[in-house]
Amino acid sequence: MTKAEAKIRIDKLCDELQEHNYRYYVLAQPSVSDFEFDQKLKELEQLEAAYPEFVRPDSPTRRVGGEPTKDFPSVKHKYPMLSLSNSYSLDEIREFDARVRKAVGQSAEYVCELKYDGLAISLTYTYGLLTQAVTRGDGVQGDDVTNNVKTIRSIPLRLRGDYPPELEIRGEIVMPRAEFERLNSEREEIGDNPFANPRNAAAGSLKMQDPKEVAKRKLDAYLYYIPNPPENVKTHYDALKKAKSWGLKVSDNIAICRNMAQITEYINDWNKGRRHLPYDIDGIVIKVNDLALQQQLGYTAKNPRWAIAYKFKAERVETLLESIDYQVGRTGAITPVANLKPVLLAGTTVKRASLHNADIIAQLDVRIGDTVYVEKGGEIIPKIVSVNLDKRPAGAQPVKFIGHCPECNTPLIRKEGEAAHYCPNEDSCPPQIKGKLEHFISRKAMNIDSLGEGKIEILYDHGLVKNVADLYDLTYTMILGLEKVIPAGEGKKEKRISFREKTAENIIKGIEQSKQVPFPRVLYALGIRYVGETVAKKLAAHFKAIDRLMAASFEELIQVDEIGDKIAESVILFFQKPVHREMVERLRTHGVQMELTETQPSEPQLLQGKSFVVSGVFEHHSRDEIKKLIERFGGKNVSSISSKTDYVLAGANMGPAKKAKAEKLDIPIISEEEFEKMIKG
């Protein structure tokens, strides 16, 4: 392929992939299979690596190209990001309409939209290219989170059609509920605190330092406001239609309403319909459609006078708190759960509600026998919001949180700064053992799917497995015929799970096959607190074998890229325990992978002990390739310059701030050629 041909092919692949992306994420009408898409993306990656001079800034490969950021730069908004005034009743909407009509001397047409419960974002496109994404902040200035926002597939990197040379557009970044639930169960699995709701999860995701991690959270975005639309656009509705024609994701659920009756209908429809949306909304927004009227109405200090938000009321009922149960999670965290007198709320019968932790119980001051108010807001899970003190029975006592584990009777602990009580008996407390076993066999860990769906529980209940190493002692005859009967209840029939010939055979086969699972996944499967998939990969790449990891000191551990005090401490504590060392030995004896298998001869460790900050664009390699070379030759990549950095490897367009910092700290700035010489010895 000649250079000219490569450029043509790169351009063609970029355009095609952008089109597919648009169809998939914006229109929700996929036009090619995932496989075909990935093939094309791979081809583009390879061509871009060979011809970096032709990499386009809007290339689909650049979505996750940004470098990790420690502090997000603060940016002043060109137009302040105001909030909307809230209302909670139709009367208030009627008053709003009356105010509008009085001010403009005529009746107004409105656009009704969903009020997304996410995080506001302002996007800037310059000559069609996404150049900046800034959070609301205090409304006057926000944080520049461009690299993280670029990972959101429904936000185009390049506009299409007749877009203006400079466009600022605002919208909301949301996390779909399904993704929120996936993320929270993953967090609980590795012992991290779950997010309280999808909004917090979206906000937390956007503030992560590494865009690669943000890309894993499946965020979505809807755009709903252009502060300075092109001259020829006369209404808000047309502005949104235009935005749509430029490839931006605008909701289809918007309506023009000409009177209160139509507005009321829209509100009522979505109050019911919101449960079927894949993301949370917390109300609706009503905006004057005509832009000239909007201008005439103007703004108060905080809000536009041409728009108002109607917030949905959370549905609330009263019921009796009969008792409190304490559940032990996989990580040992204790969750108090309220048993309620069954009551109908927003279409479902509610019998239980989480009380979260001891602090929440104390804050609410709920007592057994109290009549409590239970609410279901945008979120699916009902919560107790307060107590009806008028109905408190005489003599009701404050709740005394349990002191011992309800499953294994071990005294509970509560770490400083943490809200939850924990059962520290991680290796013999039944739900914790089962949790560890389930994590071990899960897809991203050892992937023994023939053991899913309650089968682990059967093995545990029969006393056959008490820790993950026991799985490898199982034989076909030991497990054949085991069964469990799940009694009928609540409209469900009795269920019987039994290990017949085929099941038993598959289980043994699955366990045998797991011996081929590579070391990084084995390390993740061990379920060390805070060692998720990414951390496991980093530790495995650095230490190469479990023996070296087990022998590592705290100082050695925190030397590894992205390993902080919390993880290092957790790794040390885990391997300090003789049961864990013994478990590792047994797994190793059974043939489970406890070290990296070298696929390529290892390079001389010429960069051993040296840390590099890589910045800018290079001629012969992509930035990722450079980083891999550093690691292959024993060096370490760090994201920001400090006095501990040994070299700054600078390509073209290295940021001026980085350069100044390196110079200030007297850190050598080397070129790609100099680096190549270094690794050639």
Among 48, 58, 97, 113, which residue interacts with ligand IVH (rule: CB under 6 A)?
A: 113
Task: State in angstroms the smallest separation of the CB of 314 from ligand IVH.
Answer: 17
How far is 430 from 332, CA to CA, in rounded Å?
10
Among 96, 110, 116, 237, which residue interacts with ligand IVH (rule: CB under 6 A)?
A: 116
How far is 393 from 370, CA to CA, in rounded Å?
7
Among 55, 75, 84, 108, which residue interacts with ligand IVH (rule: CB under 6 A)?
A: 84
Task: State in angstroms the smallest separation of the CB of 666 from ligand IVH.
Answer: 45
Count the Cβ atoms, other than its own, within 10 Å of residue 446: 25
How far is 198 from 403, CA to CA, in rounded Å?
32
Phi-psi region of 616 (alpha: psi -120 to 50; beta: other; left: phi over 0): left
Task: State in angstroms the smallest separation of the CB of 487 from ligand IVH.
Answer: 46
Task: State in angstroms the smallest separation of the CB of 179 from ligand IVH.
Answer: 19
Mark whether 115 is an active-site residue.
Answer: yes
Identity of the residue, 119 or 630, whose beta carbon is nearer to ligand IVH in the bound complex: 119
Per-residue tokens: 64? 């996750």
How far is 530 from 2, CA to CA, in rounded Å?
49
Q: Does residue number 83 form part of the binding site for ligand IVH (CB under 6 A)?
A: yes
244 to 303, contacts with ligand IVH by CB under 6 A? 285
- 3-state secondary structure (DSSP) of residue 103: helix
Identity of the residue, 163 or 224, whose beta carbon is nearer to ligand IVH in the bound complex: 224
Among 40, 77, 115, 383, which residue interacts with ligand IVH (rule: CB under 6 A)?
A: 115
Q: Does residue number 304 form part of the binding site for ligand IVH (CB under 6 A)?
A: yes
Task: State in angstroms the smallest separation of the CB of 139 from ligand IVH.
Answer: 8
How far is 127 from 87, CA to CA, in rounded Å?
39
Identity of the residue, 113 or 438, whose beta carbon is nearer to ligand IVH in the bound complex: 113
How far is 454 from 441, CA to CA, in rounded Å?
12
Task: State in angstroms the smallest separation of the CB of 636 from ligand IVH.
Answer: 40
How far is 107 from 345, CA to CA, in rounded Å?
39
Specify the DSSP class assigned to residue 68.
P
Indicate which residue of 3, 42, 115, 515 is catalytic.
115
| The residue type at 74 | S
Among 123, 307, 358, 539, which residue interacts with ligand IVH (rule: CB under 6 A)?
A: 307
Binding mask 208-227 for ligand IVH (x = CB under 6 A): ----------------xx--
Binding mask 119-148 for ligand IVH (x = CB under 6 A): -x---------------x------------
Identity of the residue, 115 or 621, whose beta carbon is nearer to ligand IVH in the bound complex: 115
Phi-psi region of 61 (alpha: psi -120 to 50; beta: other; left: phi over 0): alpha
Q: Kindly determine how many residues on this chain lie close enough to bind ligand IVH according to the rule CB under 6 A.
A: 15
In 136-176, which ranges are E strands?
141-143, 166-174
Contacts of 226 (CB under 8 A, 6+ apart): 167, 168, 169, 170, 233, 239, 242, 243
Among 48, 58, 168, 172, which residue interacts with ligand IVH (rule: CB under 6 A)?
A: 172
Q: What are the residues facing 113 on neighbouring strands?
A: 285
In the sheet with 166-174, reading across from the earlier edge strand, the strands are: 129-135, 119-126, 166-174, 220-225
Identity of the residue, 116 or 440, whose beta carbon is nearer to ligand IVH in the bound complex: 116
Of 62-70, 111-119, 457-465, 651-659, the window that binds ligand IVH (rule: CB under 6 A) is 111-119
- 3-state secondary structure (DSSP) of residue 334: strand
Q: Does residue number 408 form part of the binding site for ligand IVH (CB under 6 A)?
A: no
Of 82-90, 229-237, 264-272, 406-414, the window that binds ligand IVH (rule: CB under 6 A) is 82-90
Q: What are the residues facing 173 on neighbouring strands?
A: 119, 221
Q: Does residue number 538 form part of the binding site for ligand IVH (CB under 6 A)?
A: no
Count the Cβ atoms, other than its own, within 10 Å of residue 378: 21
Task: State in angstroms the smallest separation of the CB of 265 from ligand IVH.
Answer: 18
How far is 415 from 33, CA to CA, in rounded Å?
49
The catalytic site residues sit at 115
Which stretches of the chain bind ligand IVH, using CB under 6 A?
82-84, 113, 115-116, 120, 136, 172, 224-225, 285, 304, 307, 309
